[in-house]
C-alpha cells in the first residue's frame, strides 16, 4: 500500500511539473516552431534511457519519435502509437489576465494563483487544482498523460507483446500537412501501426446527457468542407441603390441558407470494413446500390444512433447539436472598396466563407449541391477552399477499445462508455484510410467550461484529470500488451 501511495504521489508531482514546463514553451501556430518542445520531450526520454528519433518536415517543424520495443515473442501485432500535436493556436495576450505561456495553477482551498480577474484566462473561484495556459487542454494535458503512461511501461518493465510508439508532431492546428500527414507520407514504414490513440473524446457529467457520466471514444469525425460563396454585381454610388448590389444578393442568400435549421441529414456513420474497403463499404452500408440491379443492403444503425441508444436523450447544447447534424458556420464576410471600405461606394463583389462539417455518408459534391439549393440563387459562385478525407469509422470490437472501456469503468462503474462521432477534425483521420484503428480520447472527466475553453482566452485543464487520464492509459495499455 505504501509503495502504491508513493508511486501515485510521484506521478502527481511529475504530472504537474511536466505540464507546467510544456505549456511554458510557446508553440503557437503560426509560426508553429516545435523545436524547443521536441528538445523538452527528448530530454525526458533520454533521462529514462529511451532512444528518440527526430525529423524536421520543414524549417522549425520538429517531429519526435520514441519507441518501446516488444519484449514478448512472437509479437501479437503491429505497434500502438500514442499521438499528440505539439503546436497550439495563437493567444491574444490582451484578453488573458496572465501571460498564456506562464501557466497559473489555482487552488481555491489555499487561494493559490487566483488572479484579480479570475474568469479571464487564469482560473475561476471554487476551482481546485487547475492549470491555466494556452495548450493546457489542446492538447498538452493529454500529451503529458500519454507520456506518463509510456514512461511507466518502461519504468515498471511491463511485458510488451508489441511495440509502443510515442509520436509528437507539429502542424495539426493548420491542417497537419507538415506533421502527422508528413510522417505518413515519408516515414510510414517506421510507424505502420495497428492502433493510434489520439485526441477527440472525453468524459463528462453534463455535456452529453443531464445527470449521466458519459465517456465518448472518438471513432469517426465529420467531413470538413470549407466553401467560399461569391456574389458579383454592379458597382455604384451609395446614394443610388440598384438591384444588382452584390451585398444585397449575398445577404439574402445567406439568410435563406441559415434559415433552414433542419439541414440535410445523412446520419449514416457505418462500421469500417477493412483497410482497402473503407469508402465503398461505408457507402454500401448506407444504402448505395451494391450491384447493377440496384439491390440495396439492409441499413445498419448509424454511429449517432448507437450513441443515442447508449446515452439516451442528449443534452441540448451546441456540442450535441453538432454531433447529430451537418452544420454550417459563417466565419467571414468580405466586401467593400478601399481600406477602410468607403461607406458611399457599392462594390461589385461580395464574398462569404462557410465552415461546413458534414456527417459521414455525404459526399463533397452532394453537400455543395445542398448548399446551392439552400442559397437559392444560381448566379452565386461556390468555390471549394478545402476538404478533409471522407470519414471512416473505426471498429469498436478490438482489444484496445475494450480495454479502454474496462479501465474507465474500473474507476467509474456508473460510466456509460460509447463510441462517438466528433464534430471537429484530428490527425486520426489521416491514419484511418490506411486501416489503422484510431481512437480519440482524453479518458478523464472534463467540465463543460474546460471543453469550451479550448482555443479561448480561458483555456485550462484540471491536473486531476491529467493524472486520471495517465492511469487509464496505463491500465488500458498494460492489458492490451499482455500476452
Enclosing H/E stretch for 354 = strand 349-358
Rg from Cα positions in the chain: 24
pLDDT reported for residue 4:
43
Residue 247 CA to residue 334 CA, distance in Å, equals 9
For residues 382 and 402, membership in a common domain is answered with no
- Asked whether residue 301 is assigned to any structural domain, the reply reads no
Residues 6+ apart with CB under 8 A from 312: 209, 212
Alpha-carbon distances of 201 from 107, 331, 446, 459, 476, rounded to whole Å? 26, 25, 10, 17, 16
- Asked whether residue 302 is assigned to any structural domain, the reply reads no
Residue 268 CA to residue 280 CA, distance in Å, equals 13
Average pLDDT over every residue of 232-251: 97
For residues 30 and 164, membership in a common domain is answered with yes
For residues 363 and 454, membership in a common domain is answered with no
What is the domain range of residue 234?
A: 223-266+326-387
Enclosing H/E stretch for 205 = none
Strands 128-132 and 104-107: antiparallel
For residues 132 and 160, membership in a common domain is answered with yes
For residues 113 and 242, membership in a common domain is answered with no
| Residue where one domain finishes, among candidates 387, 402, 425 | 387
pLDDT reported for residue 107:
74
For residues 198 and 237, membership in a common domain is answered with no
Q: How many helices (H) and strands (E) does the chain have?
A: 13, 17
Strand, helix or coil at 36?
helix
pLDDT higher than threshold 60 for residue 479: yes
For 22-46, how does the pLDDT look when each residue is reduced to its tens digit (9 = 90+)?
999 999 999 999 999 999 999 999 9
For 394-422, how does the pLDDT look when each residue is reduced to its tens digit (9 = 90+)?
999 999 999 999 999 999 999 999 999 99
Strand, helix or coil at 389?
coil
For residues 64 and 132, membership in a common domain is answered with yes
**For residue 231, what is the domain's CATH number?**
3.30.70.360
pLDDT higher than threshold 50 for residue 435: yes
For residues 383 and 408, membership in a common domain is answered with no
- Asked whether residue 287 is assigned to any structural domain, the reply reads no
Average pLDDT over every residue of 128-141: 94
Contact 350, 250 (CB under 8 A): yes
- Cα 383-389-391 angle, rounded to 5 deg: 120
C-alpha distance across the termini of the chain, in Å:
27
For residues 79 and 43, membership in a common domain is answered with yes
pLDDT higher than threshold 50 for residue 236: yes
Give, as one character, the DSSP assignment of residue 188: G
Residue 477 CA to residue 156 CA, distance in Å, equals 13
- Asked whether residue 436 is assigned to any structural domain, the reply reads yes
For 201-218, how does the pLDDT look when each residue is reduced to its tens digit (9 = 90+)?
999 999 999 999 999 999
For residues 137 and 54, membership in a common domain is answered with yes
Phi-psi region of 296 (alpha: psi -120 to 50; beta: other; left: phi over 0): beta
- Asked whether residue 412 is assigned to any structural domain, the reply reads yes
Partners of 349 in beta bridges:
232
For 135-166, how does the pLDDT look when each residue is reduced to its tens digit (9 = 90+)?
999 999 999 999 999 999 999 999 999 999 99
Average pLDDT over every residue of 347-359: 97
Residue 175 CA to residue 320 CA, distance in Å, equals 24
For residues 193 and 336, membership in a common domain is answered with no
| Residue where one domain finishes, among candidates 364, 387, 410 | 387
For residues 114 and 251, membership in a common domain is answered with no
The larger pLDDT score, comparing residue 7 to residue 29, is at 29
Residue 165 CA to residue 168 CA, distance in Å, equals 10
- Asked whether residue 296 is assigned to any structural domain, the reply reads no
Residue 237 CA to residue 335 CA, distance in Å, equals 15
Scored b (16 or more CB within 10 A) or e, 213-227 reads bbbbbbbbbbbbbbb
Partners of 221 in beta bridges:
422
pLDDT reported for residue 261:
57
For 60-75, how does the pLDDT look when each residue is reduced to its tens digit (9 = 90+)?
999 999 999 999 999 9
Using 50, 70 and 90 to split pLDDT, how confident is the model at 320? Answer: very high
- Asked whether residue 285 is assigned to any structural domain, the reply reads no
- Asked whether residue 272 is assigned to any structural domain, the reply reads no
For 8-21, how does the pLDDT look when each residue is reduced to its tens digit (9 = 90+)?
444 448 999 999 99
For 254-304, how does the pLDDT look when each residue is reduced to its tens digit (9 = 90+)?
999 999 855 444 333 333 333 332 333 333 223 233 333 344 444 568 899
| Residue where one domain finishes, among candidates 387, 410, 439 | 387
**For residue 126, what is the domain's CATH number?**
3.40.630.10
Other beta carbons within 10 angstroms of residue 427's beta carbon come to: 26
pLDDT reported for residue 128:
53
Residue 274 CA to residue 393 CA, distance in Å, equals 10
Query: What is the tally of structural domains in the chain?
Result: 2
Predicted TM-score (pTM) of the model is: 0.86
Residue 357 CA to residue 61 CA, distance in Å, equals 28
pLDDT reported for residue 361:
86
- All three cell numbers of 27, joined, read 508553440
pLDDT reported for residue 389:
85
Amino acid at each position: 500500500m505504501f509503495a502504491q501511495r508513493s508511486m501515485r504521489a510521484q506521478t502527481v508531482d511529475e504530472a504537474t511539473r511536466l505540464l507546467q514546463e510544456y505549456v511554458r514553451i510557446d508553440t503557437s501556430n503560426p509560426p508553429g516552431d516545435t523545436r524547443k518542445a521536441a528538445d523538452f520531450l527528448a530530454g525526458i526520454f533520454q533521462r529514462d534511457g529511451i532512444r528518440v528519433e527526430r525529423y524536421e518536415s520543414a524549417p522549425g517543424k520538429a517531429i519526435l519519435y520514441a519507441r518501446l520495443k516488444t519484449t514478448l515473442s512472437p509479437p501479437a501485432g503491429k505497434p500502438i502509437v500514442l499521438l499528440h500535436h505539439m503546436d497550439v493556436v495563437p493567444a491574444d495576450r490582451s484578453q488573458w489576465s496572465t501571460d498564456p505561456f506562464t501557466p497559473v495553477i489555482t487552488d481555491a482551498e489555499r487561494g493559490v494563483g487566483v488572479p484579480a480577474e479570475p474568469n479571464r484566462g487564469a482560473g475561476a473561484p471554487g476551482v481546485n487544482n487547475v492549470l491555466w495556459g494556452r495548450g493546457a487542454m489542446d492538447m498538452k494535458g493529454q500529451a503529458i498523460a500519454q507520456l506518463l503512461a509510456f514512461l511507466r511501461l518502461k519504468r515498471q518493465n511491463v511485458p510488451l507483446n508489441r511495440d509502443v510508439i510515442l509520436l509528437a508532431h507539429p502542424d495539426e492546428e493548420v491542417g497537419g500537412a507538415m506533421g502527422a500527414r508528413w510522417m505518413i507520407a515519408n516515414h510510414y514504414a517506421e510507424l505502420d501501426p495497428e492502433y493510434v490513440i489520439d485526441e477527440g473524446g472525453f468524459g463528462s457529467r453534463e455535456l452529453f446527457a443531464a445527470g449521466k457520466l458519459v465517456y465518448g471514444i472518438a471513432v469517426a469525425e465529420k467531413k470538413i468542407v470549407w466553401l467560399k460563396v461569391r456574389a458579383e454585381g454592379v458597382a455604384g454610388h451609395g446614394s443610388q441603390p440598384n438591384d444588382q448590389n452584390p451585398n444585397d444578393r449575398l445577404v439574402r442568400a445567406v439568410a435563406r441558407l441559415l434559415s433552414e435549421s433542419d439541414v440535410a441529414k445523412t446520419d449514416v456513420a457505418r462500421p469500417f470494413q477493412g483497410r482497402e474497403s473503407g469508402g465503398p463499404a461505408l457507402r454500401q452500408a448506407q444504402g448505395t446500390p451494391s450491384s447493377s440491379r440496384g439491390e440495396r443492403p439492409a441499413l445498419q444503425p448509424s454511429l449517432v444512433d448507437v450513441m443515442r441508444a447508449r446515452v439516451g436523450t442528449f443534452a441540448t447544447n451546441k456540442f450535441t447539436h453538432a454531433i447529430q447534424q451537418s452544420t454550417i458556420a459563417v466565419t467571414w464576410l468580405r466586401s467593400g472598396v478601399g481600406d477602410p471600405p468607403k461607406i458611399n461606394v457599392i462594390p461589385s463583389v461580395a464574398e462569404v466563407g462557410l465552415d461546413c462539417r458534414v456527417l459521414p455518408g455525404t459526399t463533397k459534391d452532394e453537400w455543395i449541391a445542398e448548399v446551392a439549393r439552400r442559397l437559392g440563387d444560381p448566379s452565386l459562385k461556390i468555390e471549394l477552399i478545402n476538404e478533409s478525407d471522407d470519414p471512416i469509422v473505426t471498429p469498436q470490437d478490438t482489444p484496445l477499445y475494450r480495454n479502454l472501456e474496462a479501465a474507465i469503468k474500473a474507476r467509474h462503474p456508473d460510466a456509460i462508455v460509447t463510441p462517438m462521432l466528433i464534430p471537429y477534425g484530428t490527425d486520426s483521420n489521416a491514419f484511418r484510410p490506411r486501416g489503422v484503428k484510431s481512437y480519440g480520447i482524453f479518458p478523464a472527466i472534463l467540465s463543460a467550461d474546460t471543453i469550451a475553453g479550448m482555443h479561448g482566452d480561458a483555456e485550462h485543464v484540471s491536473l486531476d484529470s491529467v493524472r486520471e487520464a495517465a492511469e487509464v492509459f496505463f491500465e488500458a495499455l498494460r492489458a492490451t500488451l499482455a500476452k
